[in-house]
């Protein structure tokens, strides 16, 4: 993972934005009306589509495709499923989606450090 401040800030903004927008989209389209399983599947697909569009056309230009794609796709998937599980309104969904984006980013950075090693020998 990139450690320069511009890219870390970009990862942070990208994941918060993707999580909030995916959750808001899923909540505004009332995916919870499909039941829990159907709503989770629809929200996951909406979140993946939104994350793919955001990273392809906006975010990867500034922050690099490989570093942004994985955490944003995961943030979009999980945040898109949240309104179906919790029956959230749009504003609550955006707040929880932003938190989901932060948690996914932290988990991604931790997983990267564990898998790549700390660099100290």
Separation of alpha carbons 23 and 86, rounded Å: 11
Q: Is residue 18 part of a domain?
A: no
Range of the domain at 64: 36-110
**CA 79-80-86 angle, 5° bins:** 80
Whole-number Å distance between alpha carbons of 37 and 55: 27
Segment 52-87, tens digit of pLDDT: 999 888 887 887 777 788 899 999 999 999 888 888
In a domain, 90, yes or no: yes
Number of folded domains in the chain? 1
**pLDDT tens track of the chain, all 121 residues?**
667 787 788 889 999 999 999 999 999 888 888 888 898 899 999 999 999 999 888 887 887 777 788 899 999 999 999 888 888 889 999 999 999 999 999 999 899 889 887 655 4
The rounded distance, in Å, linking the Cα atoms of 113 and 37 is 34
């Amino acid at each position: 993972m990139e450690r320069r401040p511009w890219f870390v800030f970009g990862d942070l903004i990208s994941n918060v934005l993707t999580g909030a927008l995916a959750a808001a989209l899923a909540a505004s389209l009332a995916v919870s009306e499909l039941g829990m399983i159907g709503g989770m599947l629809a929200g996951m697909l909406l979140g993946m589509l939104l994350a793919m569009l955001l990273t392809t056309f906006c975010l990867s230009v500034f922050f690099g495709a490989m570093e942004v794609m994985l955490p944003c796709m995961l943030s979009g998937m999980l945040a898109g499923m949240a309104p179906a599980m919790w029956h959230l309104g749009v504003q609550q969904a955006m707040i929880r989606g932003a938190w989901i984006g932060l948690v996914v980013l932290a988990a991604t950075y931790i997983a990267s450090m564990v898998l790549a090693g700390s660099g100290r020998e």
